[in-house]
C-alpha cells in the first residue's frame, strides 16, 4: 500500500526551516522510497540537501525551486517556505538521478534515465511514469533523450524550475546535491496504479498564422527554435500584437524591445498537437519578449511551417483549471476516488501571476477535486506532460499525478 505525507514549513533562515522540518518529521518513523522537495529560491539548498541525505539516506530525491512558494492541501506557502512530499511504498520501486545538463542535454537525459532505473534494480524495465525537474531552456532536448529509451510508452511529467522574477535564480535538487542548470529525474514503478493528466486553461481567440521564419543555428537539423522571426511573412511580434489588440504597443515602439511576460499571460499562442475527430488539443506557448527587429521570443520551441493560434483565457478559468486537471487524473485511477493516496501538481508560474491573490482558490479547487488527501503543487516556468499519447513540453499548463493506495 502507498502512503503519502506532505510537510511544509516557512522561515527566512534555511537553518530554522530545516529545524522545523526535522521537528515535524520526528513524528514519522518510516523511511520513504521517494522524496519530492520544493522551496523558495532564496533558501540555501545545500543545507537542505545535507539534511535530507542524512535523514533519508536511501530515498530517491527530486525537486527544486518553485516560483514564489508552492501549494499544499493546507493552502499556499510563500517564498520562504520549504515543502516535502514523502512517498512510502514497500511494494514499489523508485529511482532517481541528477546531473548538470551539459552541452548535450538529450544525452544527459538518456544517461540519467538509465542510471535511475539501474539504481532501483529495474534496468530494462519500463517505468509507469518518469518525473522531471530541470532548468528552463532545453526541455525539448530532455524529452528527446528520454524518448530514445522509452519512446512514448510511459508518461514524462514534470516542470521547469522557477524563481520569483525570471532572473535566472532557479535551482534543481537531486541525490547528488543542488544545481542551477541541471536535470533531476525520478522513475516511478509503484505497487498500485497512477493517474495523471496534462491540460491548459485557454481557448482559441480566432486568429492564426503560419511560422515562416525561425532564428536557429545554421547547423541545426531542422528549422526549429524559440525566436519567431516571421508569421505569414511579416514581423512576428507585429502580427501577434494585432491578434491581441495592441497589448504590446509600447515594447514595439521601444527600439530595444523588451519583456512581455505579464502582458501576454492571458493571451498566449498555441499549436494544435493533433486534431482528433474534429477535436483540437492545444499545446500552449508563452511569448517571453520582443526583440529590436520585432521578432517574438517564446518559452517553447516552434518549427518553421507550424500553424500557431491566438489563445485567450481569464482568471476564473485559470483558478478552476488545476482542480479540473486533478479531477481528471483522479478519474484515471481504476479504484476511483476511494483509492487516492495523494497527488503531485504542477501549476505554471505565469498562471500564478495571472490569477494574483486568487491563487489561494487554486489550492482550494484541487482540494475539492481530490478530497481529504495530501498534495503538493509547485509553480514552474515550463511544464511537461503527455498529450494525445505523446510527451511534450509546453507553457501555461497544469499537470497532476495522483497516487493510489
What CATH number did the domain enclosing 274 receive?
Answer: 2.40.10
Query: Which of 284, 312, 340 is the endpoint of a domain?
Result: 312
Q: Are residues 117 and 125 in contact, defined by beta-carbon separation less than 8 angstroms?
A: yes
Mean pLDDT on 314-333: 93
* pLDDT band of 336, cuts 50, 70, 90: low
Supply the range of the domain harboring residue 101. Answer: 3-199+316-404
pLDDT at 217: 59
Same-domain status, 321 and 228:
no
Same-domain status, 237 and 358:
no
Residue with cell 506557502: 77
**In 3D, which of 289, 292, 282 has the Cα closest to residue 263?**
289
Per-residue pLDDT reduced to its tens digit, 203-213: 999 999 999 99
Per-residue pLDDT reduced to its tens digit, 44-53: 999 999 999 9
Same-domain status, 32 and 122:
yes
- The residue that leads in pLDDT, 118 or 216, is 118
d(CA 305, CA 213): 8
d(CA 165, CA 167): 5
Same-domain status, 153 and 169:
yes
Lowest-pLDDT range of 38-42, 233-237, 278-282, 358-362 = 278-282
Q: What beta strand segments (E) does 201-273 contain?
A: 203-215, 224-231, 234-235, 258-259, 269-272
Same-domain status, 227 and 258:
yes
Query: Which of 312, 334, 349 is the endpoint of a domain?
Result: 312
Same-domain status, 39 and 137:
yes
H and E: helices and strands count for the chain: 10, 27
d(CA 3, CA 340): 10
pLDDT at 114: 98
Number of domains in the chain: 2
Q: Are residues 395 and 286 in contact, defined by beta-carbon separation less than 8 angstroms?
A: yes
What is the chain's mean pLDDT, rounded? 93
Return the percentage of the chain with pLDDT > 70, whole number: 96
Same-domain status, 324 and 295:
no
Per-residue pLDDT reduced to its tens digit, 142-163: 999 999 999 999 999 999 999 9
Lowest-pLDDT range of 23-27, 221-225, 273-277, 336-340 = 273-277
d(CA 400, CA 255): 41
pLDDT at 276: 56
Query: Which of 265, 283, 312 is the endpoint of a domain?
Result: 312
pLDDT at 151: 94
The sign of the torsion formed by the CA atoms of 241, 243, 245, 247 equals negative
Same-domain status, 187 and 38:
yes
Same-domain status, 31 and 141:
yes
Same-domain status, 335 and 388:
yes
Same-domain status, 40 and 183:
yes
Same-domain status, 181 and 325:
yes
Per-residue pLDDT reduced to its tens digit, 376-388: 999 999 999 998 8
Amino acid at each position: 500500500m502507498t502512503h503519502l505525507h506532505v510537510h511544509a514549513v516557512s522561515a527566512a533562515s534555511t537553518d530554522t526551516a530545516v529545524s522545523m522540518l526535522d521537528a515535524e518529521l520526528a513524528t514519522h518513523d518510516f523511511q520513504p522510497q521517494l522524496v519530492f522537495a520544493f522551496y523558495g529560491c532564496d533558501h540555501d539548498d545545500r543545507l537542505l540537501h545535507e539534511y535530507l541525505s542524512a535523514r533519508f539516506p536511501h530515498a530517491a530525491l527530486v525537486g527544486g525551486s518553485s516560483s514564489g512558494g508552492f501549494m499544499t492541501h493546507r493552502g499556499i506557502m510563500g517564498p520562504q517556505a520549504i515543502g516535502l512530499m514523502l512517498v512510502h511504498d514497500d511494494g514499489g520501486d523508485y529511482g532517481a538521478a541528477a546531473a548538470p545538463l551539459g552541452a548535450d542535454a538529450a544525452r544527459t537525459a538518456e544517461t540519467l534515465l538509465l542510471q535511475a532505473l539501474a539504481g532501483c534494480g529495474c534496468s530494462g524495465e519500463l517505468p509507469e511514469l518518469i518525473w522531471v525537474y530541470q532548468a528552463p531552456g532545453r526541455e525539448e532536448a530532455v524529452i528527446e533523450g528520454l524518448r530514445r529509451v522509452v519512446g512514448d510508452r510511459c508518461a514524462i511529467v514534470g516542470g521547469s524550475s522557477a524563481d520569483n522574477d525570471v532572473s535566472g535564480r532557479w535551482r534543481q535538487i537531486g541525490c547528488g546535491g543542488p544545481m542551477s542548470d541541471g536535470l533531476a529525474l525520478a522513475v516511478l514503478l509503484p505497487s498500485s496504479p497512477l493517474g495523471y493528466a496534462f491540460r491548459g486553461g485557454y481557448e482559441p481567440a480566432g486568429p492564426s498564422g503560419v511560422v515562416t521564419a525561425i532564428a536557429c543555428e545554421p547547423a541545426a537539423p531542422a528549422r526549429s527554435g524559440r525566436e519567431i522571426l516571421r508569421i505569414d511573412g511579416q514581423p512576428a511580434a507585429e502580427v501577434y500584437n494585432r491578434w491581441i489588440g495592441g497589448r504590446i504597443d509600447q515594447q514595439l515602439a521601444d527600439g530595444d524591445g523588451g519583456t512581455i511576460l505579464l502582458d501576454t499571460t492571458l493571451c498566449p499562442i498555441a499549436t494544435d498537437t493533433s486534431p482528433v475527430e474534429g477535436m483540437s488539443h492545444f499545446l500552449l506557448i508563452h511569448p517571453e519578449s520582443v526583440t529590436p527587429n520585432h521578432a517574438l521570443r517564446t518559452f517553447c520551441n516552434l518549427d518553421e511551417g507550424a500553424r500557431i493560434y491566438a489563445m485567450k483565457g481569464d482568471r476564473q478559468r485559470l483558478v478552476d483549471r488545476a482542480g479540473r486537471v486533478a479531477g481528471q487524473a483522479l478519474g484515471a485511477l481504476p479504484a476511483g476516488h476511494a483509492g487516492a493516496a495523494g497527488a503531485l501538481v504542477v501549476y505554471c508560474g505565469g498562471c500564478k501571476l495571472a490569477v494574483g491573490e486568487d491563487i489561494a482558490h487554486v489550492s482550494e479547487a484541487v482540494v475539492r477535486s481530490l478530497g481529504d488527501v495530501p498534495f503538493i503543487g509547485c509553480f514552474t516556468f515550463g511544464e511537461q506532460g503527455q498529450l494525445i499519447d505523446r510527451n511534450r513540453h509546453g507553457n501555461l499548463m497544469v499537470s497532476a499525478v495522483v497516487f493510489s493506495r
